[in-house]
Structure 1
Amino acid sequence: MKQVDTLSYLRNSNLLEIIRLDGSCLQITGRKLRLACRCGDCCSDRQQDLPPVDAEPAFKVEAVEAVGSYGIRLFFEDGHNRGIYPWSYLEQIGDMDIERRLPI
């Protein structure tokens, strides 16, 4: 990912906004972020073909925490907070077309 200048969570529109040093902007919805979670629980659910989370609190981001220079950790309103999103993965998520959830 290009170097990040500003990272913001726009609560009213439920968007994570990343503004890069070159001025370009990447916006990712809370829904897309949650469905793209790669924590052990979410990956296990996908392996077992369990239905994806489909409730509004699950898609609302409550807080964002830096994980060193590696990426960010997201805290969702339903209590889910185990996913770490590396900068390079956020770039991939921004380009993905996620309808219901990611494959394993």
Structure 2
Amino acid sequence: MDISNVSILDLPDEILLTIFKKLNNIDLLYSLIGINQKLDRFACDINFTKDVDLTTVSSNDTNNSRLNAMVDRFCTYILPRVHNNVACLSVQASLFQRILHSSNYPNLRKLTL
């Protein structure tokens, strides 16, 4: 019997896009950016980066160190990479300054606290 190794990267782009559209965009950004070029391309696509709702990051996380690590990653690595696509940004009031100062958002049309 011939066993072959199949990776998620072997799937056609259309299938990956269908799968990724089912995921929460924050989870997608946090999990895929920085993995490899193909996944970066999908995660940084405007479909996943135009509406960024970071309220789910802070409201669902009871572990403060994990929350800080996630927010740090968004502020230092993720938001600077996708800032041009962000049209709608939702953040907790407690994170407002950190998120807003992490990057310039030239296409921001809606800010929700």
Query: Rg larger in 1 or in 2?
Result: 2
Q: Could you say which TM-score interval applies, normalised by the shorter chain?
A: under 0.3
TM-score, length-scaled by structure 2: 0.24
TM-score, scaled to structure 1: 0.25
